[in-house]
């Protein structure tokens, strides 16, 4: 088993790059065949990845089952993060539900599917405006006392909610979208996390594939792919955002790296308490992503990238309006 650089999420020590597992089951077209997905997750462990991210709603449920099968031989060597708070309604729509009874039902299901007796990091997937965050934190505190959860976090929460939650039960991590083309967390979120000593776990650090070089201006997505409803992925916006790719390509040429590695290394070089979780369904991409930890930037190089980025106009929102409303509460 290889050793990757380590970082801390509160008291949790994890590999500097984790693996986001959602796309193996859900969100980006057809699910990966089960045996291939198990093999890929185990390949990640063998290459030093110790941090794996899932959620009960991915599938729903099938992604947790996949991780349970894949990671059971390595359970003592890995950190598993999963999430509660989004339920699939009978009409196919997702609804936020973080009532204490629902959280308790969710943890029991997650433990069973993950084939474990404790979840290392348990996130509220989206803030539920109908349940005070103090009640959520109090419920998770009880689960920690009962030995079912080790640490907790919030996903896509606003800074006021983060402060309130942290007062009741200290947060180990906040998960948020953050990448070279989605930098809003720098405005409010990152300063508050630094102040409070909470780690950041960026999802979509490769911009849902755009910063990985696999999505060019001619890409089209069918209705089973989440990107088919994302404004940034319309043909017009994909074309307009090509200057960002050209900037990354220039940086990659200087470092003898790929643009995906530049995008991941850029995140890692922002703060020592940031642990990105790129997803993939391909072994060569997994290896490419892991290799990003060895790329270093000087402060001058980071400044040059930021200056060049500032001259580029990013086109298109990162979510449809309905989904953006659920974030930053």
pLDDT of res. 89? 83
Residues in the chain predicted with pLDDT less than 70, given as ranges, are 1
CATH topology of domain 6-324: TIM Barrel (3.20.20)
**Where in the sequence numbering do the catalytic residues fall?**
58
pLDDT of res. 88? 86
pLDDT of res. 192? 98
Question: What are 231-267's pLDDT values in tens digits?
Answer: 999 999 999 999 999 999 999 999 999 999 999 999 9
In the chain, domain spans: 6-324
How far is residue 204's CA from residue 310's CA, in Å, rounded to a whole number? 21
Instruction: Evaluate if pTM is beyond 0.85.
Output: yes
pLDDT of res. 171? 98
pLDDT of res. 1? 63
What is the greatest pairwise CA distance in the chain?
54
pLDDT of res. 76? 97
Q: Taking the CA of residue 96 as centre, how many other CA atoms within 13 Å lie in the half-sphere pointing to its CB? A: 18
């Amino acid at each position: 088993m290889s050793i990757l650089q380590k970082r801390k999420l509160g008291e949790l020590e994890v590999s500097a790059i984790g693996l986001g597992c959602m796309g193996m089951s859900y969100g980006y077209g057809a699910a990966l065949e089960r045996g291939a997905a198990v093999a890929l997750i185990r390949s990640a462990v063998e290459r030093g990845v110790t941090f794996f991210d899932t959620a009960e709603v991915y599938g729903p449920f099938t992604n947790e089952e996949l991780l349970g099968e894949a990671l059971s031989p390595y359970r003592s060597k890995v950190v598993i993060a999963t999430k509660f708070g989004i339920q699939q309604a009978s009409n196919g729509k997702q609804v936020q539900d973080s009532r204490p009874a629902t959280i308790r039902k969710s943890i029991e299901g997650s433990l069973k599917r993950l084939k474990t007796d404790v979840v290392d990091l348990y996130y509220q997937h989206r803030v539920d405006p109908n349940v005070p965050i103090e009640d959520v934190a109090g419920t998770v505190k009880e689960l920690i006392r009962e030995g079912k959860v080790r640490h907790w976090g919030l996903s896509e929460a606003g800074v006021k909610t983060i402060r309130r939650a942290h007062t009741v039960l200290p947060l180990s991590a906040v998960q948020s979208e953050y990448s070279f083309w989605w930098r809003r967390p720098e405005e409010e979120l990152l300063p508050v996390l630094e102040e409070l000593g909470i780690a950041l776990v960026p999802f979509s650090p490769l911009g849902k594939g755009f910063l990985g070089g696999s999505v060019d201006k001619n890409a089209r997505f069918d209705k089973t792919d989440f990107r088919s409803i994302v404004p940034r992925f319309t043909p017009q916006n994909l074309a307009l955002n090509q200057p960002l790719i050209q900037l990354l390509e220039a940086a990659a040429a200087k470092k003898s790296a790929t643009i995906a590695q530049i995008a991941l290394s850029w995140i890692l070089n922002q703060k020592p308490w940031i642990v990105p979780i790129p997803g993939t369904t391909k072994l060569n991409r997994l290896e490419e992503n892991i290799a990003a930890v060895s790329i270093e930037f000087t402060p001058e190089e980071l400044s040059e990238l930021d200056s060049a980025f500032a001259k580029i106009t990013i086109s298109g929102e990162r979510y449809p309006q309905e989904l953006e409303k659920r974030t930053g509460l």
